[in-house]
Structure 1
Amino acid sequence: MGMFNNWDVGGGIADFWAYIREPRPHRWASWGVAIVLPIVVIWGFSKYLVPYEKPKPSIVYFDNWQATRSEADIRADWVKRAKETTLRNAEKRAEYQRFADSLGIDYDSSEADRVTRETLGEEVAAAAKKKKPAPPQRSTLAERAARGPADATRP
């Protein structure tokens, strides 16, 4: 531990400077490699490891309405979009309800369901809450092996 107590930074720098100044046959080539190699590696990482793609210009189209639209048309459009959003929210809420039921978690959506019924009507709200049919399940490799070899005459 005694050697770490007295630091001679000035002496170390002087020794390093004396070492650098000694004429060696490949001194400048070594310095060139020592400086260029890390620069090339860092540049390569910055260029190719995390590539940056310049955003491409894109055209965004907006709905264009006639200047002669009446207030009733504007409000009807608002109501139509609000009903579409409410329907999507009701479908998503029903998915969350099924997920919570499968995990045994209490999930109370009664207030939101009441708003949905008031907004969309009983039939549409009930249809949004119905369970969607699950996609057909493919048999596993073990099930196919248990059934045995397929009949050669069947397609």
Structure 2
Amino acid sequence: MSLPRPASPRALLADFRAFTRERSRAQWVAAVLAVLMPVIIIIGFVVDARTNIMPGEQLIYVDSWSANRSDAEIIAAQKVRQEQVDAAKAERQRQYQELEKRLGME
């Protein structure tokens, strides 16, 4: 079984013209809308994928310490920072316990 001969560009153009003449204006509008809706949705996904994906500017605070500080000074500073962290955790826990009482979740 052999394949059909390829059509010439003229025959293709003639077939396309005949096809377009048989269609009403409403069918063409519906066809254009049927193609445009998915294209618009895909463009929306592409635009959304490129929006707000990079992290914003970040500020990094660096403590400046003298180069000749003693181990005792380092340990004292670490204890102060640990106390601050513990106090923040305790405050957060107190807030959650207060919320629990207000919601009656005891």
Equivalent-residue separation in structure 2 for 1:88 and 1:65 (angstroms): 24
Equivalent-residue separation in structure 2 for 1:98 and 1:59 (angstroms): 33
Bigger proportion of residues as helix: 2
Instruction: Name the aligned partner's letter for residue 91 of structure 1.
Output: E
Shift of 1:60: 2.5
* Alignment deviations for residues 80-129 of structure 1 (CA, whole Å, 9 cap, x no partner): 01111121222222223323334151xxxxxxxxxxxxxxxxxxxxxxxx
Closer/same/farther in 2, CA of residues 26 and 70 from structure 1, 3 Å limit: farther
TM-score when scaled to structure 2? Answer: 0.51
Q: Residue 23 of structure 1 aligns with which residue? A: 15
1:51-130 maps to which residues of 2 (within 5 A)?
A: 51-53=50-52, 54-56=54-56, 58=58, 60-102=60-102, 103=104, 105=106
Closer/same/farther in 2, CA of residues 89 and 64 from structure 1, 3 Å limit: same
Unaligned runs of 5+ residues in structure 2 are 1-11, 20-27
Q: How many residues align?
A: 80
Equivalent-residue separation in structure 2 for 1:56 and 1:101 (angstroms): 38
TM-score when scaled to structure 1? Answer: 0.38
Closer/same/farther in 2, CA of residues 26 and 39 from structure 1, 3 Å limit: farther
Root mean square deviation of aligned Cα: 3.5
Closer/same/farther in 2, CA of residues 43 and 73 from structure 1, 3 Å limit: same
Identity between Structure 1 and Structure 2 (%)? 28
Instruction: Name the aligned partner's letter for residue 72 of structure 1.
Output: A
Q: Residue 151 of structure 1 aligns with which residue? A: none
Runs of 4+ in 1 over 3 A off after TM superposition: 36-41, 53-59
Equivalent-residue separation in structure 2 for 1:55 and 1:75 (angstroms): 35
Equivalent-residue separation in structure 2 for 1:93 and 1:73 (angstroms): 30
Higher relative contact order (CA 8 A, sep 6+): 1
Q: Residue 46 of structure 1 aligns with which residue? A: 46
Q: Residue 6 of structure 2 aligns with which residue? A: none
Unaligned runs of 5+ residues in structure 1 are 1-20, 106-155
Closer/same/farther in 2, CA of residues 50 and 76 from structure 1, 3 Å limit: same
